Amino acid sequence: RCGEARGDYEFNPEELICAGCLPHSADTSCDKHGTEFIEYKCRFCCSTAVFFCFGTTHFCDACHSRPGDMQTMQSSGTLPPCPAGPLGKKLEGDCPLGLSESSHPEPGEEMVLGCGICRNAKTSF
């Protein structure tokens, strides 16, 4: 799906970032579960990311369906602050990810959420 969306876009392979060099990479390992279940926030909204594209960007499913629009909103400064829904929709109330205002990154920034198993265990019990 990413390859199809890329179209004629040319990129510089030297600009790709390995997972170990990403911002917050020190937080990308769980003492109990290793690295397999680490989750990221979508760069563009308050959803859990399910795609990692371009070697730099985590997307939720909805934002991944329109990457050009999301990158345009980011570069123009029109991404809404938290709480933000997919595709640039401003939400009311608390952050859907349960993040506090002080721990929330600015719109358009990457953020590791931590281990999905441990996060789920904390909210389920």
pLDDT tens digits for range 22-78: 555 556 788 888 888 999 999 999 999 999 998 889 999 999 999 999 999 999 999
| Residues 12, 17, 5, 95, CA torsion sign | negative
Active site residue 18: no
Active site residue 53: yes
DSSP state of 30: B
For the whole model, what pTM was predicted? 0.77
Residue 12 has pLDDT above 80, yes or no: no
C-beta of residue 39 within 8 angstroms of C-beta of residue 122: no
C-beta of residue 46 within 8 angstroms of C-beta of residue 113: no
Catalytic residue among 18, 42, 53, 95: 53
